[in-house]
Chains A and B, each alone.
Chain A
């Protein structure tokens, strides 16, 4: 397994755990529409901060391992990463658009002209996590499939 594959697995682990953490949090603390609850908000932010710290540690570790062991990433790793990033960008964009539409429709049906200030931030975070999670999954799938350099 190349260092890029190990990095993709670590990324999947970190953001998979974050999504599981969110699901548990929403299950325990109520639905997303009780977002103003202080405990839930802080727990959500701490989960995000932990995942971000995990991402930083993962990348720093990868750089250290590369410099110490001489492990390299080559053109195939870069081709896979490029394609995985394309998939991830498309998926993330679709998720953000879908969330914005759902939010608009929900509040319009509710007869309200305003939304909570937390929702735009939440949508940006969900979009970012979707991007990183999809990138990891797509990269791991592509390592098992036929890939062309171009």
Chain B
């Protein structure tokens, strides 16, 4: 059975919002900059809570930030 992957558009969304820094996004979402880096590199799959916080920081829905790929 192939493993599912959760991708995200965080880097693109940051640049679409006036090149928001990773530090700024981390502060607004309540996590560390290292976690934002890990998310952008696809090295971390966040909790639902953090996923919602990131989506709300960008003012978009959850699925506009995170994609479930099989």
Contacts and interface: CB of A to CB of B under 8 A. Distances in A.
A5 to B, nearest CB: 7
A12 B15 CA distance: 38
A74 B30 contact: yes
A24 B34 CA distance: 38
A119 B43 CA distance: 43
* Ranked 8 nearest A-B pairs via Cβ: A74-B31, A149-B47, A148-B45, A76-B35, A2-B34, A146-B43, A2-B32, A74-B32
A141 interface: no
A73 interface: yes
Nearest to B26: A74
B50 interface: yes
A101 interface: no
A146 B30 contact: no
Contact of B43 (A72, A73, A75, A145): A145
Nearest to A74: B31
A76 B42 contact: no
B34 A75 contact: no
Interface in A76-106: 76-77
Interface string A27-42: 0000000000000000
A1 interface: yes
Contacts of A77: 32, 35
A147 interface: yes
B2 to A, nearest CB: 16
Nearest to B35: A76
